[in-house]
A and B are shown apart, each in its own frame.
Chain A
Amino acid sequence: MLEIKNLHVKLEEEEKQILKGVDLKVDSGKVHAIMGPNGSGKSTLSYVLSGRDGYEVTDGAASLDGNDLLDMEPEERAAAGLFLAFQYPVEIPGVGNMTFLRTAVNAQRKARGEEELSAADFLKIVRERAKSLKINADMLKRPVNVGFSGGEKKRNEILQMAMLEPKMCILDETDSGLDVDAMKLVAEGVNALRDEGRGFLVITHYQRLLDHIKPDVVHIMADGRIVKTGGPELALEVENNGYADILAEVQ
């Protein structure tokens, strides 16, 4: 499904290499987790995959279902089924959350040649999915993420994911800032979407989230590379011992 080969990325404005050859393959139906020290390039990877400006791919490739991602506009990647839950969700004053969700859902449907959802159908679905994430009517009415608490913003990301039903979901530290109950809600939201046709790439610093969302594969990223790959036990090892041993071992 998602295939990243030897991806090298530098900042557009500076001579700073951030990703130094990332190789990663997520098959559909699988959940992969990425852990790694601060500044190792995890968010950069997720931004480059979703098409944010400011980065230059100097080598390598990334594709979704065989289609070259790096060649597409951000909205085309989204319509192709890629979704990124942001580490820092963006506040958009003046744009209602509901308007935003409906515009996004219908834009993707249109791009895929599907019929737009009627206002009534949309409302029904959004209410139902918001409810299971404990997002109240007021949060749906307010401007996107404006005045939302850290945890509310993260839940709002998962609501967007639930509405857009993407094929490949990247979650960038969706667990940070969540209280225990909210973490469970988010994990339930993710688990509800888990199925054969869908892949997940879950970026996290904590094993805790992985108790709720059981990963098939765990990768360790350091200094712009995937330095180690293993099963769920790798996350436990990080939790117990930190990164020092792993980094020493791979050097």
Chain B
Amino acid sequence: MALPEIKQTATEARLATLELPTAGCTKPAREAAIARVREMGLPDRRDEYWKYTRPDTLVQAEGTKAALFDNDEPLMFDQIDRLKIVFVDGIFDAEASDDLSLEGVKIERLEDICCTDIHWAKDLYGVLETRGHDPVPRPLAALNTAFAADGVAIHVTGKPSKPISLIYVHKDEASDAFLHHIVRVESGAEATILENGPAAARFNKCMEIDIADGGTLHHVRSQGRDHERRAVTHMFTRLGSESVYKSFTLTVNGVLTRNEQVIEILGDDAVAHVAGACVGDGDFHHDDTVFITHDAVNCESRQVFKKVLRNGATGVFQGKILVKAGAQKTDGYQISQSLLLDDDSQFLAKPELEIYADDVACSHGSTSGAIDDTALFYLRSRGVPQEVATDLLTLAFLAEAVEEIEDEDLSADIVSRLESWLSRRR
């Protein structure tokens, strides 16, 4: 079907600004991705899937500038022993990064694997992204597959002793970056991937994660605090039987964030948890879009999303659980909640369930509410000042999402971060 003319023009205008990276083995995948972009067209605000979030600044040919966020805060995950891989405005920084060798995992730059002929990356790069357009197209992910100049391929074959930490530094006010990572967790292997930082003024990130039978991946990320940064991220995850994927995302600040998670559960007895906590103030728009497909027996999925919004901030949640025929004994849970600290802020939620199996337990709920006055008074009556009491109740509200992080050091880091950010704003 031909695209509407406006859409086609906008798509071509964007494509015209981009150059295909010289990228050996991913070249066919990239060319195919360009074709997909042309076929789908880049999103505009007439698209149903972008009803609550305007995609124009993510799509338009020229990116917008974002001032660097100056602060003296300790670095994220600083207390945690990890293997650091640093990208500055979307480009790998070898000097700032650790040596990439670690037992149980092989990490390569996309650029470096492109010369070898046979590589597992060929079976993954762009593959999950391609699968992810049904039933809803995600053209910005295809755009990423085509043009991502950098990224890493992480091959987990054992149980690496420390997390692999992807650090996204933003240095150039006008940067417009793409990163594409692929992760393959082999059978019985287990790893933790951390991501943090603003990355760029405008950032498009795509991650494809393939977890084999019995593999486990923990994924914790914190998106940078630069107020004016814009980001669209896609995470495509495919799960084999008895595999586990647990992801948590923290977002504080950022004028525009769209995080899409597409999860396909293909093997029996698998577990997928996705959680997110965000705190937005003022000119802040945060969108979590999740699509989980159950296509196997006796699997569990959990979505826990919490948003704290104030001074006119907007939060969006679009979450779907699709249970295919035959995916019996599915246990699907989805909760999305917002805490609105004033009347100017808003939360737009579209929770969906689509079920074609008869023996399943799925539940979903979405709420929007203010701080509980009774609890607030109770705390104040014990001498806790109003702002401190509000912060305590705010953290309490976010707790259910943060508790999804299994590692106690990581969750403690996230909590202390939240505490200091909340108190700094006072």
The proximity string for A residues 84-99 relative to B, scoring 1 for CB distances below 8 Å and 0 otherwise, is: 1010011111110001
Q: Taking A52-B377, A53-B377 as contacts, is the C-beta distance between A95 and B396 under 8 angstroms?
A: yes
Q: Does the CB pair B375–A103 fall under 8 Å?
A: no
**A: contact size bracket:** 20 to 34
Chain A residues in 8 Å Cβ range of B373: 53
Stretch among B48-56, B342-350, B380-388 lining the A interface: B380-388
The answer to whether A86 and B383 have CB atoms under 8 Å apart is no
With contacts A95-B393, A103-B392, A107-B388 taken as known, whether A90 is within 8 angstroms of B374 at the C-beta atoms is yes
Asked if A174 is at the interface of the complex by the 8 Å CB criterion, the answer is no
Q: Across the interface, do A107 and B375 meet the contact criterion of CB distance under 8 Å?
A: no
How many Å from the CB of B66 to the closest CB on chain A? 33
B393 & A104 in contact (Cβ 8 Å cutoff): no
B372 contact set on A, CB distance < 8 A: 92
Contact with B along A62-97 (1 / 0, CB 8 A): 000000000001110111000110100111111100
**Residue ID in chain A nearest B377 by CB atoms:** A52
Are the C-beta atoms of B378 and A107 separated by less than 8 Å? no
- CB <8 Å contact, A164 and B386: no
List, in ascending order, chain A residues with CB within 8 A of B399's CB: 94
Residues A104 and B374 in contact, CB atoms below 8 Å apart: no
A117 within 8 A of B: no
**Contact residues on B (Cβ < 8 Å of other chain), bracket:** 20 to 34
Q: Does B61 contact A (CB under 8 A)?
A: no
Q: Kindly provide the distance from the CB of B371 to the nearest chain A CB, expressed in whole angstroms.
A: 11
Q: Are A104 and B382 within 8 A (Cβ)?
A: yes
Q: Please give the distance in Å from B277's CB to the nearest CB on chain A.
A: 12
Residues of A within 8 A of B380 (CB): 51, 73-75, 78
Q: How far is the CA of A21 from the CA of B257 in the complex (A)?
A: 57
A residues within 8 A CB of B378? Answer: 86, 89-90, 92
Given contacts A74-B377, A90-B378, contact A104 B383 (CB under 8 A): yes
Q: Which of B372, B374, B378 has the most CB of A within 10 A?
A: B378
Say yes or no: B396 contacts A93, CB within 8 Å. Answer: yes
CB of A160 closer than 8 Å to a CB of B: yes
Known A-B contacts A52-B377, A74-B377, A86-B378; the reply to A92 vs B396 at CB < 8 A is yes
User: Which residue of A84, A89, A92, A107 is within 8 Å of B385 (Cβ)?
Assistant: A107
Which residues does chain A contribute within 8 Å of B333, judged by CB atoms? none
Q: Which residues of B contact A160 (CB under 8 A)?
A: 382
A207 within 8 A of B: no
**Which A residues lie within 8 Å of B383 (CB)?**
75, 78-79, 104, 107-108, 111, 164
Which 4 pairs show the lowest CB-CB distances between chains A and B? A94-B396, A78-B383, A108-B383, A104-B382
Chain A to chain B contacts (Cβ below 8 Å), 11 pairs: A52-B381, A75-B381, A78-B380, A83-B381, A92-B378, A93-B396, A100-B382, A103-B379, A104-B383, A107-B383, A164-B383
A: residues with CB less than 8 A from B are 50-53, 73-75, 77-79, 83-84, 86, 89-95, 99-100, 103-104, 107-108, 111, 143, 160, 164
List the interface of chain B (C-beta within 8 A of A): 372-375, 377-386, 388-389, 392-393, 395-397, 399-400
